[in-house]
Structure 1
Amino acid sequence: MKALLSPPPPRSNIFCSHHERFFLSVYPISPLQKPPRLDARLGANRPQNLKVVFVTRAADSTQPSTTASPSSAKTIVTDDEFSLAKVSFGVIGMGVGISLLSYGFGAYFNVLPGSEWSALMLTYGFPLAIIGMALKYAELKPVPCLTYSDAQMLRETSATPILKQVRSDVIRYQYGDEQHLDEALKRIFQYGQGGGIPRRSAPILQMIREEVTEDGKYCLVLVFEAKALQLSDFDKRQEKFASFFGPDVRAEVGKGENDLYEVRLISNLNVDLSSS
C-alpha cells in the first residue's frame, strides 16, 4: 500500500514498519488543547523559535556603598633616600675581610695571581673579618617606619628636635644596645626597681609611625610588643613618656592591633609657632 503524503517537516521523525511508513510530527500543545489533525496540520505548522531575552536593570542607588576610611585614603611615603646609617657595617666588614683572606690564600699557594700581595691581604683580611663578625653579632637592625605624606610635610616645622632624633636613631643600624630606646625604656619602666618591672618583661619596639592628628599636629607613634605587660602598665607611665621625650610633647597610650601597645608622642611645637 502506497500512501501519498507530502514531505515531512524538518523536525518530524519517521518510523518504518515493513511496507508501511508513518510520520510523526511534534507540536507545542497546551494542557487543555487537543492535538491538531495530522492531515490538516501536517504542512501548515512550522517549528517554533524560542527567544531568550535578558533584561538588564540598573543598580539600586539606595544600596550602601563602601567608602574608604580616612587612614586608607592617606598616601604612604616610601623612604628611598640612601644613607650610610642604613647599611650594615658588620656585613661590609665580613664581606671585605673574607674576600681578602680568600684571595690572599689563593695567591699565597699560587692558585691566583698576585703572590707578592698575598701577605698584605692576609694581614688586613683577618682583622677585618673578625671586626665584621663582632659588629654583626652586636648589630641591632632598624625598625620599619610608616610615614604618611601629610606627616612628612609637617616634620621639619612641627616635630621637636628630640622626636626627630628618636626617628633617626631607630631607623638605622645600632651596635651594642640590647634594643632600640633601651635607655629611655630603662628609666620609664624602672627595670628591677620598686614599682618597676623585671628586665625580661621590657617592651620591645616593633615599628614607628608618623601621622597627623585630627587637630593638625605632628605625631610620632611608637608601637611596642609587651606580652608580659598590660595596658595599665603603660597608662600609669604616660606622664613619664611625655617628660622623657619632652619638652613640647604630649603622650597618649593605647592598645593597637595584634596585641600591640602604642605610645603617641604628639608635638605641641606647631601651637607655639602659630601663636608667635
Structure 2
Amino acid sequence: MLRQTSLGTLGLSVGGILTVVGFWAYFITDNATLNLVGFFYGIPLLLGGLALKASELKPVPLMQPTAESVLALREQQATATQNQIRQDVTRYRYGQRAHLDSSLERLGLSPTDEECPVLVGVQEVETAGAYTLVLEFESPLMPLELWQEKQDKIASFFGPGVKASVSPAGDRRVDVALIAAP
C-alpha cells in the first residue's frame, strides 16, 4: 500500500493544508498555536513535498494482470533478484533518472543519458514451466542486435539461477525475459 503512495504528493497535501491553516490563523483568527503549526510544520513539509515531487520516478505498470498459476510459480521458483527487481520497479523511487539505469549502465546498454532505454512495462508469465519476469524497454537509440549481444551478460548480471532472453516487442521496444532456472 505504501509502495503505491507518492510521498511527494503526501508531503504537498499535508504541508499545503498546514501552511494554509497557519496563514489563516495568523491573518484571520490571531491564534498563535495554529500559526506556529503552519509555519514550523506546514512550510517545511510543503517544501519537502516539492523536492520529492521534483525527483519522483513513477512505478512501472504491469502490462497484464498476473495469473494465479504464475503467482504460485513465483512463490516456488522466483529468485531473490527477480523479486527485488519486481518490487523496485513497481513502487515510487526518488533521485533516479530511470528504473534500472545503473544496471543498464553496467551492462553497457546506456552509454549516455540520452541513449538510456526506458522501462515501460513489466509482466509475469510462465515460460516452459518456469517463472519469468518480462521487462519491456523502450529503446529508440539502442538496436536490438546490441541487446541480443548482451544476452549472456544480462543473464550473468541478474543471476545466478536466471536465464535471459531478448526479443523485439514492437517498434523500438525490447522485451528482456528473466527466466528462473531452478
TM-score by length of 1: 0.62
Matched, 1:91 2:5: no
**Residue 260 of structure 1: which of 173, 178, 182 is its match?**
173
Matched, 1:209 2:123: yes
What residue identity is the alignment partner of 2:95?
Answer: G
What residue identity is the alignment partner of 2:141?
Answer: A
What displacement does 1:115 show? Answer: 4.4
Match of 1:65 in 2: none
- Bigger proportion of residues as helix: 2
User: Secondary structure in 2 aligned to 1:110?
Assistant: helix
CA RMSD of aligned residues (A): 1.5
Matched, 1:141 2:58: yes
Match of 2:154 in 1: 241
What displacement does 1:199 show? Answer: 3.2
User: Secondary structure in 1 aligned to 2:59?
Assistant: coil
What displacement does 1:190 show? Answer: 5.7
Unaligned runs of at least 5 residues, structure 1: 1-82, 192-196, 270-276
What residue identity is the alignment partner of 2:59?
Answer: P
Matched, 1:157 2:76: yes
Q: What are the superposed Cα offsets for residues 180-206 of structure 1, whole Å, 9 maximum, x if unpaired? A: 011111101264xxxxx4331111100
User: Secondary structure in 1 aligned to 2:107?
Assistant: helix
TM-score by length of 2: 0.93
Q: 1:126 to 1:218 in 2, by over 3 A?
A: same
User: Secondary structure in 2 aligned to 1:94?
Assistant: helix
Q: 1:150–1:211: 8 Å Cα contact kept in structure 2? A: no
What residue identity is the alignment partner of 1:94?
Answer: L
Matched, 1:128 2:42: no
C-alpha separation in 1, matches of 2:22 and 2:79: 51
User: Secondary structure in 2 aligned to 1:251?
Assistant: strand
User: Secondary structure in 1 aligned to 2:15?
Assistant: helix
Aligned pairs, number: 180
C-alpha separation in 1, matches of 2:124 and 2:143: 24
C-alpha separation in 2, matches of 1:247 and 1:224: 22
C-alpha separation in 1, matches of 2:46 and 2:3: 20
C-alpha separation in 2, matches of 1:131 and 1:106: 21
C-alpha separation in 2, matches of 1:240 and 1:164: 19
C-alpha separation in 2, matches of 1:210 and 1:122: 47
Bigger radius of gyration: 1
C-alpha separation in 2, matches of 1:250 and 1:98: 48
User: Secondary structure in 1 aligned to 2:28?
Assistant: coil
What residue identity is the alignment partner of 2:85?
Answer: V
C-alpha separation in 2, matches of 1:172 and 1:190: 23
User: Secondary structure in 1 aligned to 2:114?
Assistant: helix
Q: Which runs of 4+ in 1 moved over 4 A?
A: none
C-alpha separation in 2, matches of 1:108 and 1:164: 50
Match of 1:104 in 2: 22
Unaligned runs of at least 5 residues, structure 2: none
